[in-house]
Structure 1
Amino acid sequence: MDAKMINPFVDAVATVLPQLGFQSVERGQIRLGEEFVEGRGVTVLIGLTQDVQGNLAYNFTEEVAKGIASTMMMGMPVTQMDEMAQSAISELVNMITANAATHFSSQNLLVDISPPSLVVGEALKARISNGKFLVVEVNADSYSFELNIGIASSK
């Protein structure tokens, strides 16, 4: 997968998370995934269409999702993945993906994003690509989550 397809997401994470109260945001390891993303507890799926097509799966443990939701809500304790916490995590995914879509526009690539779909549970197996996809680890303060990227440019 071309770095030009991944960098908008890495840049978007580095832009959005500090705006939400995270002090330290770093890209961790990158590896290839094959066929399925396996749920870690909370997985948010979002699709891309137009000049960049494919799917993304943001993959969190439930504890990490609750911690991130708490940070987004200015430290309000989050003890369960209730409707408010789910909404916060879905909005985070929306913000990062929309920011990446803006980065793609600077490459003259038009991108539309689908509404995010959040799934709670570890038994999830989601196919985001017909082949290999990229798994990018994101470390934000003491939280770590995966961004699974199965996209390609149609141009």
Structure 2
Amino acid sequence: MDVNHINPILDSFTNVMPQLGLTDVQKKGISLKGRFIKSPGVMIILGIIGDIKGNIIYGISMDDAKQIASTMMMGMPVNNFDELAQSAISELTNMLTANASINFSKENININISTPTLIHGEFTANASSDKVVCIEMLINGMTVEVNVSMEKNTI
């Protein structure tokens, strides 16, 4: 994976999150992981295809997902991670990845993204490649793991 593919994703957080009322956006850390990603509670997977291919797997604890969904819904209490809260979190990752796609296009890298797939509970996801870069973002004190598994498309 090309580490230059990280910046468009990081930039999407600083572009999108403040528009949703989540203004304190920090990069907490970057690490390498293997193919198998353990769920922190909620995972959202988006496929990437085009000049680069792979996927981005967002991981959020259940409590943080409910708090982020509440903020996105103008402070409406989210006691259960119901269909509305799941929709809000799915839409957040769709906006982040779409914005990253725009950022990639500024570097003459054209990609398309899939519809988000949200899964919650205890499980392990399987990334599209053996090497995954995990970016931990701290958003208003809440952690969002961004697991990036992308490589140049050779087709």
TM-score (norm 2): 0.96
Kindly report which structure 2 residues correspond to 1:39-118, keeping only aligned pairs within 5 A, or say none: 39-118=39-118
2:125 maps to 126
Query: Does structure 1 retain, via aligned residues, the 8 Å contact 2:129–2:150?
Result: no
Deviations along 1:18-73, one digit per CA (max 9) or x if unpaired, are 11001210111100011111111110000000112001110011000000001111
In the TM superposition, structure 1's runs of 4+ consecutive aligned residues that sit over 3 Å from their partners are: none
Name the structure where strand makes up a greater proportion of residues.
1
Is structure 2 residue 8 aligned with structure 1 residue 15? no
Secondary structure at the counterpart of residue 31 of structure 1: strand
2:137 maps to 138
When the two chains are superposed, the root-mean-square deviation of aligned CA atoms in Å is 1.0
The Cα of 1:129 is off from its aligned counterpart by 2.9
Query: Does structure 2 retain, via aligned residues, the 8 Å contact 1:51–1:109?
Result: yes
Secondary structure at the counterpart of residue 108 of structure 2: coil
CA distance in 2, matches of 1:115, 1:79: 26
Q: Where does the alignment leave 5 or more consecutive residues of structure 2 unmatched?
A: none
Amino-acid identity (%): 43
Query: Does structure 1 retain, via aligned residues, the 8 Å contact 2:54–2:129?
Result: no
Q: Where does the alignment leave 5 or more consecutive residues of structure 1 unmatched?
A: none
**Residue type of the alignment partner of 1:137:** E
1:154 maps to 153
Query: Does structure 2 retain, via aligned residues, the 8 Å contact 1:5–1:152?
Result: no
